[in-house]
Structure 1
Amino acid sequence: MEGVTLKTPLGKILIVESDGRVKRLVLNADPKLDLLPTTPFQRQLVDLFERYFDGEPVDFSKIPTARQAKYSEIYEVLQEKVKYGGIVTYAELAELAGLSRRHARVIGNAMAANQIPIIVPCHRVIRSDGRIGNYSGGVKWKIYLLELEGHKIQSGRILKRT
């Protein structure tokens, strides 16, 4: 297992990979940790993330990732259907994944268990009332990522839905 760190406007992230597949992405990584890319795959990851944090729409869905068994189908639907700048409610994502809208809590659990945020874009999943909800990396990260992708947020709510 290898990794690479990347400086972002909110601090360092750590991307852990093995055999050319991303296994984990850690937001708020140890600022002292400094892992430079050593493989072509790691260099590609750094390039994609630098472009993303510069505000360029990047499609992370083609990055090979380790299967996150329990919720893998939900994650695949999220990656395929909710692209850069898009948002979806927990209930809407439940329907897209072939579940009832009443399974919004299952979607919330899946988002909380996501080990590969940004690549599996759980930051794009919001509450039905427009509130942004929680985020594994903290609400500050969720607000930053949504604003980076063009959304306007005020008092924890999406004002502009693109």
Structure 2
Amino acid sequence: MTDTQGEPGARAAAAPRTWKWTVRDTPVGPLLLAATDAGLVAVAFHARGRTADRALARLAERLGGGPTPDGRAAADGHLARAADELDRYFAGDRSPFTVPLDWSLTGGFAERVLRELARHVPYGTTVGYQDLAVRAGDPGAARAVGAAMGANPLPVVVPCHRVLESSGAIGGFSGGLETKRALLAMEGVLPQPLF
């Protein structure tokens, strides 16, 4: 995998936070990774050109500006750890991700659902939207679980690709259905494509 690093342009925000980003080439395409001093804060699919620019603009708006000299080492360390763990994941390592996560881009029910997913739905397994709603403490919130999956700021690391419809259909995915199929096939949930 290759690695390209950069820093977004500064943008005014009420309380800017230190953050850094990198783009990793992976078997499912380039992933933009962003980290703060607290941990990995975002993963974005298809991170080239305008898609990467839009992701960086959203991060600058939500986190404030970009990296500053203070605290940069922690963000760099989280990026390096996330990149290493993603390399191992795409090489077939079934170990859970251990990079610290910064949950500041989510909250409320969505955060509860995503934390449940990260902790209790391991490599090679799946869960239904309804079951995940029950696990998060709100059995009537299957649709809200779907919304939380669509807004997941940390896909792959927080494995929203492992959430399926109750019928067994793979459902939607922010990275695209082909990416979801590829991740599920890599984990052995779906058969590998023939071509």
Between the aligned partners of 2:111 and 2:21, the Cα distance in structure 1 is 22
**CA 1:92/1:138 → structure 2, altered by over 3 Å: closer, same or farther?**
same
Which residue pairs with 2:31 in the alignment?
Answer: 13
Which residue pairs with 1:150 in the alignment?
Answer: 188
Unpaired runs of at least 5, structure 2: 1-18, 53-72
What letter matches 1:78 in structure 2?
L
Choose from 140, 152, 160 the match for 1:114.
Answer: 152
Deviation at 1:134, TM superposition (A): 0.5
Between the aligned partners of 2:25 and 2:164, the Cα distance in structure 1 is 26
Between the aligned partners of 2:98 and 2:24, the Cα distance in structure 1 is 19
What letter matches 1:103 in structure 2?
A
Which residue pairs with 1:157 in the alignment?
Answer: none
Unpaired runs of at least 5, structure 1: 155-162
Larger Rg: 2
Choose from 48, 53, 71 the match for 1:30.
Answer: 48
Are 2:133 and 1:94 aligned? yes
Between the aligned partners of 2:98 and 2:132, the Cα distance in structure 1 is 16
Q: CA RMSD in A?
A: 2.0
Contact kept? 1:61, 1:120, Cα under 8 Å:
no
Identity rate, percent = 33
Between the aligned partners of 1:72 and 1:15, the Cα distance in structure 2 is 19
Q: How many residues align?
A: 149
Choose from 93, 99, 104 the match for 1:56.
Answer: 93
